Chains A and B, each alone.
Chain A
Amino acid sequence: MASEAIPAKRIHSAAHDEEHHELPARVEPQVITAELIATTEAGRTRFRTLGWTLGILFLVGTIALAVKLVVDGGDQTQWGYTAATVAFIFSAFGGAPMVAIAPVLAKANWAKPLSRIAAIFSFASVITTLLMIPLILHLPPLVTEGARRRSIWFEGPDISPHFWSMVAMLTLIIAGLALFYSAALPDFAAMRDHSSGWKQRFGRIMARGWVGTTVQWRTMRMRIGMAGTFYFFTFVFVHFIISTDFGMSLVPGWRDAIFPMYHAISSIQAGLAVSVLAIWFARRYLKLEKYLHLDQFWSLSRLMFAFTLLWGYFFISAFIVFWYGRSSSDQMWIELLIRGPYIWAFLAGAFFIWFSPWWWLIWNRVRRSANGPAIGSALILIGLLLDRIRLYVAAWSVPPERIHERFLTEIPKTIWPDITDVLIFIGALAGCLLIVLMITRIIPMLSVWDVQNFNLLYRPINYMKTRAYLIAKPD
């Protein structure tokens, strides 16, 4: 029997249909510009209080660092908590810009409103770099009395770890700046055109004549892609350096090929958590619900869930090999990093970074909310801190004179943090947050043009008898 093809659909736009609330409404471009630029001025008194508090904490941390340099300078075993702090802030804040890279390269629309805030966190690398300086001073030499310790620098000059870790960190700062600035031009232009006073002048200088021609947009996209790729590679490289030079190679006999990747994976997991917390605060205190929808929380927490499972996978991949190996160095690894003096950090860390977010984020209802993912993120960050304490305090507690042993024969005792360690941690954290806070005063924390672009490519519609939305995917 002859039959004919039928047109599949009848769609008519219903952008202004107010009956339904489940789909986020579209916002006019000029409203977006005005509202987002206004966020740089919002809540002045509250901002000032917060800024001063963070500033004072940062100052206290700096003083504590100076005190520690005087008191514990020269004793490597006392610097484990500082190393853990460096690893923590680098992992958490350095991982956040990944949110601005991978989904954007994969053309995921939902990530667009997040790209700016994620990129801003790369500025925290400044604190990481500064705090690395005292650690570099305490790294044991590569060669002592003609004997070379194990390191990734094999036959390299004696200052290789010191030199390359600084180079790597500076490259990361440049890459972060490139990532941030390459995507910020249109917004500086928007500030030039829509704000007043020093911000307008600043916008004019930074916008560098941006008017938004087709060529400008095209080159900007290309630059973002390149800066993103550059940041990603530098990010992996820095993890490789920090995890080996400041962790693994301080322990004789610790040979663990997966460790840099484990480090990077948990960093991306924590970076996602930092992004979730950032947009949670933005929604709550800057009233940005119009731009930060539950969809963003949902998508981020799905990724966070995946990375939480990956943490478990990377951990067990290393653990089972050591557990089966049963050589002295294998047993030493388990004794030092799992069963021994830091078992409390291991158990609590695994609970917070893996077990609890796993069983929390597994529920779709939790992921489809703002508070659920925020709680999951907090759990992950606590877990990350404990995990870094377990790894770095244990590694730094090995006395430098034992570094040439084939494997560690005697497990050092637990080192507990003293007051300077706690203050340094708080100060470093406050310093990072202060930098981020200051930048959100200079430029909107949500990228104006990205949000406009998101709106342009998103369209709620009526589809036959139901509601749906269209997402455009330009090439």
Chain B
Amino acid sequence: MQQRRTIDQIHTNRVLLNGQLDTPKWWAPTVIGLGFIVIIGFLVIGIMVNKGLGVTGLSRPVFWGLFITTFVFWVGISHAGIMISAILRLSQAEWRRPVTRAAELLTVFSLLTALLFPLMHAGRPWRIVYYILPYDFARGIYPNIRSPLIWDPVAISTYLTGSTLFLYIALLPDLGNLRDRTSGWQNALYTVLALGWRGNPRQWKLQTVGGILLSALMLPIFVSVHSIVSWDFAVTPAVEGWHSTIFAPYFVIGAVHSGVSAVVTMMALMRWLWKWEDFIRPEHFDALARLLIVVATGWLAFTFLELIFAVYGLDAPELALREMQIFQWPWWLLFVTFVLTGYVIPVGMWLQKRVRNNIALMFWSSIFVNIGMWLERFLIIVPGLARKTPFVYTWESYRPSGLEWFILFWSLTWVTFLMLLFARFFPLVPLFEQKESQTFGDSIKIGRARVPAILREAD
């Protein structure tokens, strides 16, 4: 399977910059349509802030519901970027090249979206300032750093800042390219953003070394972020099902599972929408699917351990919780759907080479994964709160209101909207990486066969 072909730089520029230089016809109507939904979404959030959280389904004893689930979901998606970009960069995997930018972008936008959910969930978002920032010198009241709810904003803002900067640094050569291809105000914009990039050996070397160094720094941050999110739950012994030592790596690997799947979704869309068949090829989907089989199976092992050691203690409340989660209506339906869509169906599909190389099937399998992974978070967060426990005298199960469902849907449009907006001004596939793979890609003749090879610098 040698799908790499020789593509000259002019063609690369023309095709990969078509979003900026030759905006497709569907772009404006789509963005306007999405923008409309985005505005409505903000209005709905405004209504919620005005009326209070009573408009949601949250009530005693379930105070963490769909918003927190969706927060965890988007933080999970955000793990795609650094996973793909950093790990594949460090391991010098060639097939990373068309994927990295889109993956990093997904990180940035999904984190931005994730941030909105705790804000909404707070009811009065401005009050969050009280507990995050150490500013109240007058009264001598400072954040309680022993609370994991402080760790979250610190970790997420670190991750957001880091990945945005990472994205920008890797964008520099392409900004220089855009500067050379544009005129007028666009040229002025790209000239400023490109910082006078020229492409001399020093700049290229720093681009390579810096990319590796930033990857190495971003990886530990990426691991810490979802771990910290998981500790929001795990350090709370009061809620059954939350106090488990495995939560941190379990959340991280689940996040990678959902995030890489989201990258597959996005790659398929990019290939279809901008017609990048030459650059985003079935071999890339094949490689991503192979990676996903490993990640998904690892994740399944963690799920298994989480369940086994939940019942291992043989504590009656914990056993009752698990029984409810897996066997009682309506939770069992969610649980079965979660297992089927999160693992059984997609991995069953990916095991076949035919599916791995079929972009439409890959697209749908990746959607399945994210349905399953959203349900997973819901099943972790809500049942533990919903079960009747001693000294709770009013309780009822949780049913998200229509408004909550709308905001979940809205967050999907919001991320798509941001992506499309970005794609109008910046290339989604790193051009210089494509060109580099052309320079460094070669083949070795062994007998009668030409085996694809990659050039490595001697150092």
A residues in contact (CB < 8 Å) with B: 3, 5-6, 8-9, 11, 20, 22-23, 106, 108, 150-152, 154, 236, 240, 255-261, 309, 313-314, 317-318, 320-322, 324-327, 330, 456-457, 459-461, 463, 466-475
Contacts and interface: CB of A to CB of B under 8 A. Distances in A.
Given A9-B439, A317-B249, A325-B237, A472 B244 contact: no
B447 to A, nearest CB: 10
Interface string B1-19: 1100000111100000000
A22 to B, nearest CB: 5
B237 A327 contact: yes
B409 to A, nearest CB: 34
Contacts of B1: 475
Contacts of B446: 456-457, 472
B445 to A, nearest CB: 10
B455 A474 contact: no
B454 A317 contact: no
B407 to A, nearest CB: 31
A136 B302 CA distance: 27
A317 B302 CA distance: 14
B231 interface: yes
B302 A255 contact: no
Contact of B439 (A8, A309, A470): A8
Interface string B329-368: 0000000000000000000000000000000000000000
Contact of B246 (A258, A325, A459): A258
A67 B245 CA distance: 40
17 contacts: A5-B8, A5-B9, A5-B11, A257-B310, A258-B245, A317-B246, A317-B248, A320-B235, A321-B243, A322-B245, A324-B231, A324-B237, A326-B237, A461-B455, A469-B456, A472-B443, A474-B452
Residue of A22, A255, A309 with most partner-chain B CB within 10 A:
A255
Nearest to A255: B313
A313 B223 contact: yes
B247 A321 contact: yes
Interface residues of B, number: 49
Given A321-B244, A461-B455, A466-B457, 9 more contacts: A255-B313, A257-B245, A258-B305, A318-B245, A325-B237, A468-B455, A470-B455, A471-B453, A472-B443
A256 B243 contact: no
Interface string B302-341: 1001101111111000000000000000000000000000
A473 B92 CA distance: 12
A468 B453 contact: no
B458 interface: yes
Interface in B289-305: 301-302, 305
A327 B318 CA distance: 15
Contact of A236 (B234, B301, B312, B438): B301
Nearest to A6: B8
Given A257-B306, A321-B243, A470 B220 contact: no
A142 B308 CA distance: 17
Nearest to B311: A154
Contacts of B11: 5
**Top 4 nearest A-B pairs by Cβ distance?**
A5-B8, A324-B235, A257-B309, A257-B246
A463 B455 contact: yes
Interface in B202-247: 220, 223, 227, 231, 234-237, 243-247
A421 to B, nearest CB: 30
A5 B245 CA distance: 58
B307 to A, nearest CB: 9
A325 B243 contact: yes
A11 B306 contact: no
Contacts of B309: 255-257
A263 to B, nearest CB: 11
Contact of A5 (B10, B308, B314, B456): B10
Interface string B433-453: 000001100111010000111
Contacts of A257: 244-246, 305-306, 308-310
Contacts of A460: 458
B289 to A, nearest CB: 15
A468 B456 CA distance: 6
B440 to A, nearest CB: 9
Nearest to A461: B455
A350 to B, nearest CB: 17
A240 B305 CA distance: 9
A108 B446 CA distance: 19
B236 to A, nearest CB: 8
Contacts of A459: 444, 453
B235 A469 contact: no
B457 A468 contact: yes
B249 A309 contact: no
A358 B10 CA distance: 46
A471 B237 CA distance: 53
A473 B452 contact: yes
A467 B458 contact: yes
A473 B442 contact: no
Contacts of A327: 237
A197 B300 CA distance: 51
Contact of B313 (A3, A11, A150, A468): A150
Contacts of B313: 150, 255
Contact of B10 (A3, A108, A472): A3
A22 B458 contact: yes
B301 to A, nearest CB: 7
Nearest to A326: B237
Contacts of B246: 257-258, 261, 317
B430 to A, nearest CB: 17
